[in-house]
Structure 1
Amino acid sequence: MRQISVLMKHEIKDLLKNPAIIVVILMPIFMSKVVTAAMSKSNAGFLLLSIWILFAQVMVGIMLTGPNLIEEREGKTIDALLCSPLNFRQILMAKGLTILLFSIFSQIFVYIVNEGLNLVILKLLLPMIVGGIIFVEIGAIIGFKISSSKNGSAVSAAVMVSLFLIVSVYKTLPGWTYNIFIFIPSIGITEVINNLIQNGCFLLKESILSLAWTIGLGFWLTLIGRKY
């Protein structure tokens, strides 16, 4: 555990030295405030706060994890770490937890700048963490499956935009399609967060599906790790 925490400290310092990384972390906070304020003035309610929390999850989780892992694979950083006492699981945990911390930070401040600091945020912590894990795992899978940083950035951006946009439009579709779209992780976690904000309670089916995604994606990463 000490080795993981040491690697996490190194990862945090390394990431914060890059201005582009800081922009990715802060962008959801800034955009959520500006766009939500504009929408409230025009009485347009389709861009909910829960969608902006999701945006923080997919933006930070996928766009930081995927391209960074590809760059480290190309630079043989992963190979060098595997020569240390750390194994693949510990390396992935350290890097994933680092991005997850940034994701949770961004999500929390998306809520605070729009709603202020209140007790509702405590209820939101669990789906924020679960959602953050899902998209960090998706980013990690992209990072290990895509061969080049150029392709990795394009795939990461495409996946991020797709997962975000589908949440913005699926409610305009016929109601029966929800039983299909609920299996998309971004929709499930957004529904859980939105229901907590609006009604103060968890949606059981959507929560179970979100947890299933974390387990399934985690198992996929375990299979990837066997190659290392």
Structure 2
Amino acid sequence: MRQIIVLMKHEIKDLLKNPAIIVVILMPIFMSKVVTAAMSKSNAGFLLLSIWILFAQVMVGIMLTGPNLIEEREGKTIDALLCSPLNFRQILMAKGLTILLFSIFSQILVFIINEGFKLVILKLLLPMIIGGIIFVEIGAIIGFKISSSKNGSAVSAAVMVSLFLIVSVYKTLPGWTYNIFVFIPSIGITEVLNNLIQNGCFLLKESILSLAWTIGLGFWLTLIGRKY
């Protein structure tokens, strides 16, 4: 555990040295405030706070994890770490937890900058963490499955935009389609967040599906780790 913490500290320092990464972390916070303010003035309520929390999850989780892992694979950094006492699972845990911390930080600030500090944020922490894990896992899978950093950045951006946009439009579709779209992780997480904000309670089916995504994606990463 001590070795994982040491690697996480190194990862945090390394990531914060890159201005582009800081922009990725802060962008959802400022975009949520600007767009939400504009929507409220025009009486357009379809862009909910829960969607912007989700945006922080997909933006930070996928865009930081995927391209960075590909660059480290190309630079043989992963190979060097595997020669240390750390195994693949510990390396992935350290890198994933580092990105997850940035994701949770961004999500919390999205809420606070729009709503101020309210006790409901304590209930939101669990879906914030689960959603953050899901999209860090998706980013990690992209990072290990895509061969080049150029392609990795394009795939990461495409997946991020797709997961975000589907949440923005699915409510305009016929109601029966929800039973299909709910299996998309970004929709399930958004529904859980929104119901907590609006009603203060969890949605059982959507929560179970979100947990299933974390387990399924984690298992996929375990299979990938066997090659290392």
Measure how far apart 1:118 and its partner are: 1.2
What is the TM-score with the length of structure 2 in the denominator? 1.00
Q: Distance in 2 between matches of 1:200 and 1:29?
A: 23
Aligned ranges 1:1-228 → 2 under 5 Å = 1-228=1-228
Structure 1 unpaired stretches of 5+: none
Aligned length: 228
**1:61-89, Cα deviation, whole Å (9 max, x unpaired):** 00000000000000000000000000000
**1:81-104, Cα deviation, whole Å (9 max, x unpaired):** 000000000000000000000000
Measure how far apart 1:23 and its partner are: 0.2
Q: Distance in 2 between matches of 1:32 and 1:226?
A: 40
Q: Distance in 1 between matches of 2:72 and 2:81?
A: 10
Percent identity between matched residues is 96
**1:3-25, Cα deviation, whole Å (9 max, x unpaired):** 00000000000000000000000
Measure how far apart 1:155 and its partner are: 0.1
Q: What do you get for the CA RMSD once the two structures are aligned?
A: 0.2
SS in 2 for 1:147: coil
Q: Distance in 1 between matches of 2:126 and 2:104?
A: 10
Q: Distance in 1 between matches of 2:37 and 2:152?
A: 34
Q: Distance in 2 between matches of 1:136 and 1:205?
A: 22
**1:34-64, Cα deviation, whole Å (9 max, x unpaired):** 0000000000001000000000000000000
What is the TM-score with the length of structure 1 in the denominator? 1.00
Q: Runs of 4 or more off by more than 6 Å in structure 1?
A: none
Structure 2 unpaired stretches of 5+: none
Measure how far apart 1:152 and its partner are: 0.1
Measure how far apart 1:142 and its partner are: 0.1
Q: Distance in 1 between matches of 2:75 and 2:106?
A: 28
**1:174-217, Cα deviation, whole Å (9 max, x unpaired):** 00000000000000000000000000000000000000000000
